[in-house]
Amino acid sequence: MQVDHDAPVVFLHDIHRQYRQGETTLTILSGAKLALWAGQSVALVAPSGTGKSTLLHIAGLLEQPDSGEVYVNGAPTSTLSDAERTQIRRTDIGFVYQSHRLLPEFSALENVMLPQMIRGLSRKETVQRSREILAYLGLSERVTHRPAELSGGEQQRVAIARAVANAPRVLFADEPTGNLDPHTAAHVFNALMQLVRATQVAMLIATHNMELANMMDRRVSLADGQVVELD
Ligand code: ADP
Ligand code: MG
């Protein structure tokens, strides 16, 4: 795909999303608009149930809006085939969830290797890159551990390593520190901030933690289905 470096990495334009709930219709997003730029970290701070996960899933091409357009690297995505969207997700988009979602039967190293193997990199290259990323996140001594043998903070750092393994241009994190104690949350958060600075990835983090949000470049919220800037 052609990359337009003057365009936002991701641009959400006039996004609408409703859910049918029995007899009623829930309007979650109603004309939402948001630009995410390379090297900028954005906190999405809004109460539970307002649509943070919905917005992240739409921006991450995991879910389609009812209407509106998601541009990635300046190019519209609504007319792409499922295969083409999957390809963009593999190469340009990283996702971190509240629970780590690592594969329990595989080691930390193998969990980080998998997305690269799927992408078709050689095993040798994949092992080397995965070790480097895990070392960068302070996990050199944990590469052979399975998820159950890691602490909560370590599990999340492996999940972050997996999300950035294919050097995405944008990283979405959905309450990534929500299950962690404050000290561990700060540690995981710092790892994310370090990655933004080192790799110039664009980042959108949904969080309830205002202290962490205040350390990011920009803060937005959701109100009446629209994205509003805070500050
Ligand atoms: P948040 O992440 O801010 O807590 P969500 O995006 O998960 O909010 O959900 C927003 C609202 O949409 C919630 O009221 C939720 O119940 C509803 N919702 C989310 N996904 C679905 C779905 N697949 N079907 C029906 N309702 C949904
Ligand atoms: Mg959510």
Beta-bridge partners for 61: none
Beta-bridge partners for 205: 43, 173
CA of 108 to the centre of ligand 1 (A): 31
Residue 1 has pLDDT above 90, yes or no: no
Contact 10, 59 (CB under 8 A): yes
To test the ligand 1 pocket, which listed residue (20, 28, 221) has its Cβ within 8 A of the most ligand atoms? 28
Cα–Cα distance for residue pair 39/202, rounded to 1 Å: 5
Domains of the chain, CATH where assigned:
10-229 (3.40.50.300)
Sheet holding 75-76, edge to edge: 24-36, 10-21, 67-72, 75-76
Q: What is the 3-state secondary structure (H, E, C) of 76-118?
A: ECCCCCHHHHHHHHHHHEEEECCCCCCCCCCCHHHHHHHHHHH
- Read off the pLDDT of residues 179-196 as tens digits, 9 standing for 90 and up: 999 999 999 999 999 999
Classified as helix, coil or strand, 213 is helix
Type of residue found at 68: G
Q: What percent of the chain has pLDDT over 90?
A: 94
CA of 18 to the centre of ligand 1 (A): 9
- Read off the pLDDT of residues 2-29 as tens digits, 9 standing for 90 and up: 667 789 999 999 999 999 989 999 999 9
CA of 128 to the centre of ligand 2 (A): 34
- Around ion ligand 2, which residues have CB less than 5 A away? 52-53
pLDDT value of residue 104? 97
Angle at the Cα of 173 from the Cα atoms of 171 and 178, rounded to 5 degrees? 160
To test the ligand 1 pocket, which listed residue (45, 53, 64) has its Cβ within 8 A of the most ligand atoms? 53
pLDDT value of residue 2? 64
53 CB near ligand 1 (under 6 Å):
yes
The burial class, CB within 10 Å (0-12 / 13-18 / 19+), for 201 is buried
pLDDT value of residue 39? 95
How much is the mean pLDDT over the chain? 95
Find tokens 């049918």 and name the residue.
20
| 128 sits in which H/E element | helix 123-136
| 57 sits in which H/E element | helix 52-59
pLDDT value of residue 231? 80
Cα–Cα distance for residue pair 61/59, rounded to 1 Å: 6
- What ligand 1 atom has the least distance to the C-alpha of 222? 3
* Range 185-211 average pLDDT: 93
Classified as helix, coil or strand, 141 is helix
- Read off the pLDDT of residues 73-86 as tens digits, 9 standing for 90 and up: 999 999 999 999 99
- Read off the pLDDT of residues 86-145 as tens digits, 9 standing for 90 and up: 999 999 999 999 999 999 999 999 999 999 999 899 999 999 999 999 999 999 999 999
Cα–Cα distance for residue pair 17/66, rounded to 1 Å: 5
45 CB near ligand 1 (under 6 Å):
no
Q: Whose CA is nearest to atom 6 of ligand 1?
A: 51
* Range 62-82 average pLDDT: 97
